[in-house]
Structure 1
């Protein structure tokens, strides 16, 4: 007779695995490497999640929840009534480029690579996340075109930041773009 599932333990493992993935900015390619990183065994992860595919699906689902929480926290910054767009957007940029966010940004770039390679589940995940950001920016700007432009600006600036480490270039671009919206 098999042991009953332990939902609390499963959630704890999932949280630990996501924290480890964010810390290194990558999903490890093997379930054993992930397990080792958090001090458990691959067999324990398979026991709780059934397969590597299901484990990754749930891990990406948890990442989606964390990203959505970040989105809502940024939305709250925007809703505090800043006189213009520049200040809250630059505050968001500062937060996104902070050391604590670096692993999360790298992890999203890994997901982008998976989507580019044709992983349809990852493509759907990224489409949902992108739409959430565009909708949030639309609420902020009251202009869908400006929101989409801001979304693409941030995507490019984040990619540039991850490749070069240059924070100021993205900051300058955000400032310049918000000037065009006046």
Structure 2
């Protein structure tokens, strides 16, 4: 008969594993490599999560919560004097391209790669995240087509930013798109 896991310890390990994954921008590693990153043993991770697959599944669930929190924090109340659509979108872009978001964006791109390769769980996760973004952009624009176009603009701009480090091009694209809308 095995010992029951300690919920608080498991939650702490999950948080540390997510921080480590965000830090390197990837989930793809052995359970022992992940354990080393968070200062524990592979046996401890297996004890708490059962398998690498289950650890990753729970990490993706926690990531979904963190992404939703980030989305609401940047989508929420506009800064004082920032009422126009272009200002709100540029604030979102500035936040997305901040150094603190880099690992999170890289991790999300890794999950896109997994989805492209047919990972059904990851596809569902990304579909939920995409819908959250579309809903938030619709709240800003009150137009489904514009929200979808902005969503795709942000996706492309994020990919360009991650591959080149150039945030200015994304900013220019957002400005050009909103000028086109007028």
Kept in 2, the 8 Å contact 1:77–1:88? The answer is no
The residue number in structure 1 matching 2:44 is 44
Deviation sequence 1:54-74 (CA, Å, 0-9, x none): 111000000000000011112
Q: Distance in 2 between matches of 1:77 and 1:44?
A: 42
Q: Distance in 2 between matches of 1:35 and 1:129?
A: 28
After the TM superposition, which segments of 4 or more aligned residues of structure 1 sit over 6 Å from their partners?
none
Unaligned ranges ≥5, structure 2:
none
Kept in 2, the 8 Å contact 1:28–1:34? The answer is no
The residue number in structure 2 matching 1:126 is 126
Unaligned ranges ≥5, structure 1:
none
TM-score (norm 2): 0.96
Q: Distance in 1 between matches of 2:118 and 2:81?
A: 41
Q: Distance in 1 between matches of 2:81 and 2:119?
A: 40
3-state secondary structure, aligned to 2:3? coil
Deviation sequence 1:31-68 (CA, Å, 0-9, x none): 11000000101110110011111111000000000000
Q: Distance in 2 between matches of 1:96 and 1:57?
A: 24
The residue number in structure 2 matching 1:98 is 98
Cα distance, 1:40–1:46 mapped onto 2, change above 3 Å:
same
Deviation sequence 1:92-146 (CA, Å, 0-9, x none): 1111111111100000000000000000100000000000100111111000000
The residue number in structure 1 matching 2:32 is 32
Q: Distance in 2 between matches of 1:80 and 1:65?
A: 27
Q: Distance in 2 between matches of 1:81 and 1:43?
A: 53
The residue number in structure 1 matching 2:164 is 164
The residue number in structure 2 matching 1:142 is 142
Kept in 2, the 8 Å contact 1:114–1:122? The answer is yes
The residue number in structure 2 matching 1:111 is 111
TM-score (norm 1): 0.96
RMSD: 1.4
Q: Distance in 2 between matches of 1:155 and 1:80?
A: 27
1:77 Cα deviation after fit:
3.3
